[in-house]
Amino acid sequence: MINEFKSFIARGNVLDLAVGFIMGAAFTAVVDSLVKDIIMALLGPILGGIDFSSWFLQLTGRDKIAPTLKAAQEAGVVTLNIGLFLNAVIKFVLVAWAVFLIVKAANKILPKPAPAPTGPPADVVLLGEIRDILKAK
């Protein structure tokens, strides 16, 4: 069982997956900063100084209207965090775009595998079978 586990861990796919996971976690921090600190900062003034992360709907505690999301959370009010969701969607799109560009670049750089050899055409195989039948007679 231990040897089987060692051979499983030593496979290239498991190591590739581990490297991909670690790189993905590091890349997430970069994309999160890009969305929060650059894109949202640029979109805010274009849309009149609106900070998306503060967009929320207050679902409970209507007697105490909270001016900010942080104040609502501190007051224990249930909120629907639209702005945070919007940030997450933009972050997802940016990550997907970055992965697309990386895969596209890798496909250009890495050599294309040679096509698998195909057998002879079907008509040649059929003619060979007819020849073998005629020889057998």
| Helix spans in 11-81 (H) | 12-33, 40-46, 69-74
Distances (CA, A) of 29 to 5, 22, 24, 35, 62: 32, 11, 9, 10, 36
What is the pLDDT at residue 14? 75
Say if residue 12's pLDDT is above 70: no
Q: Is the pLDDT of residue 93 over 90?
A: no
Give the pLDDT of residue 130. Answer: 92
Q: Identify each DSSP E strand in the chain by its residue range.
A: 57-58, 79-80
Domain regions of the chain by residue span: 2-113
Q: What confidence score (pLDDT) does residue 50 get? A: 67
**By the 8 A CB rule, do 81 and 58 touch?**
no
Confidence check: pLDDT of 131 > 90 = yes
Percent of the chain past pLDDT 90, that is, above it, reads 6
What average pLDDT is seen over the chain?
Answer: 82
Residue 98, exposed/middle/buried by CB under 10 A (0-12, 13-18, 19+)?
middle
Q: So what's the pLDDT on residue 132? A: 92
Mind listing the pLDDT tens digit for each residue in 20-62?
889 888 888 887 787 778 877 787 788 777 667 778 888 887 7
The size of the chain, in residues, is 137
Element (H, E) at 57: strand 57-58
Q: Of all residues in the chain, what percent carry a pLDDT higher than 70?
A: 97
2-113: CATH, from 1.10.1200.120, 3.40.50.150, 1.25.40.10, 1.20.1560.10: 1.10.1200.120
- Specify the pLDDT at position 75: 84
